[in-house]
Amino acid sequence: MTISKFTGGAFLLTLGLLGGCTAKFLDEAPADQITDVNFYQSQQDAIQAVTAAYSELTKEGQYNAAMWAFDIWSDVSSTGGDDGNDGIEYKQLEAFSVPTTNFIATRLWGGSFIALQRANIVIQKVPGIANMDPAIQKRCIGEGQFLRAKMYFDLVRAYGDVPLFTAPPTGPAAVNIPRTPAADVYKQIEQDLTDAIGNLPPSYSGADLGRATKWAATGLLAKVYITEGKKTEAAQRAREVINNSGKTMWANYADNFKIENENNNAKESLFEVQYVSGRNQYDRNNVGSAMNEYFGPRGANQTPGSGYGFNIPDPDFVAGYEAGDTRRAASVWSPGDTYPDGSKAGAKATGSPFGYNCKKWFIGKVNTNIWDSGLNVPVLRLAEMYLILAEAVGPTTEGLEAINKVRRRSFGLDYNAPSTAHDLTAATPNFTNAVLRERKYELAFEFDRWFDMKRAGTLYPTLTDHAFIPRMTQQAATLKGVTSNVHGVPTQNNLVLPIPQSEIDTNPGLVQNPGY
What gap in Å lies between CA 277 and CA 450, rounded to an integer?
29
Helix (H, G, I), strand (E, B) or coil at 321: coil
Identify the pLDDT of residue 464.
33
E strands, 331-376, where?
A: 332-333, 357-358
Identify the pLDDT of residue 456.
84
Identify the pLDDT of residue 2.
30
Identify the pLDDT of residue 291.
94
The answer to whether 11 and 38 are in contact (CB under 8 A) is no
Low-confidence ranges of the chain (pLDDT < 70): 1-37, 367-368, 416-429, 458-494
Helix (H, G, I), strand (E, B) or coil at 128: helix
DSSP structural state of residue 130: S
202: closest CA among 165, 239, 244? 244
- The pLDDT tens digits for 186-245 are 999 999 999 999 999 999 999 999 999 999 999 999 999 999 999 999 999 999 999 999
What gap in Å lies between CA 159 and CA 424, rounded to an integer?
36
What gap in Å lies between CA 79 and CA 295, rounded to an integer?
10
pTM for this structure?
Answer: 0.90
Identify the pLDDT of residue 454.
87
Identify the pLDDT of residue 35.
54
Residue type, 180: T
Write phi, then psi, for 281 (nearest 5 degrees).
Answer: -130, 140
The answer to whether 146 and 193 are in contact (CB under 8 A) is yes
What gap in Å lies between CA 454 and CA 357, rounded to an integer?
25
The torsion defined by the Cα of 387, 392, 398 and 402, in degrees rounded to 10, comes to 0
The number of helices, as runs of H, and strands, as runs of E, in the chain is 18, 6
Please state the three-class secondary structure of 387-453 as a single string. Answer: HHHHHHHCCCHHHHHHHHHHHHHHHCCCCCCCCCCCCCCCCCCCHHHHHHHHHHHHCCCCCCHHHHH
Identify the pLDDT of residue 430.
78
